[in-house]
Copies of this chain bind each other. A is one copy, B any other.
């Protein structure tokens, strides 16, 4: 899933810090980095916010099986 977040983030030319900023709350670039590396899991609510920020569907982000 982390790879999908990275793939779509790069497609949108967003930095990790910028994506974190778009999510609001207190996440930062290192949070996004750990998510992308699979070192961190997030809630399905947060995954939904990420999908909105990247303008993709939730299905796109979990489409790795």
Contacts and interface: CB of A to CB of B under 8 A. Distances in A.
Copies of this protein in the complex? 2
Interface residues of A, number: 13
Nearest to A35: B44
Contact of A41 (B1, B45, B59): B45
Q: Counting chain B CB atoms within 10 Å of each CB, which of A1, A44, A59 scores highest?
A: A44
Interface string A14-35: 0000000000000000000000
Contact of A59 (B43, B44, B45, B62): B62
A58 interface: yes
A23 to B, nearest CB: 15
Nearest 8 A-B pairs (CB), nearest first? A58-B62, A41-B45, A41-B43, A59-B59, A57-B65, A41-B44, A59-B62, A62-B62
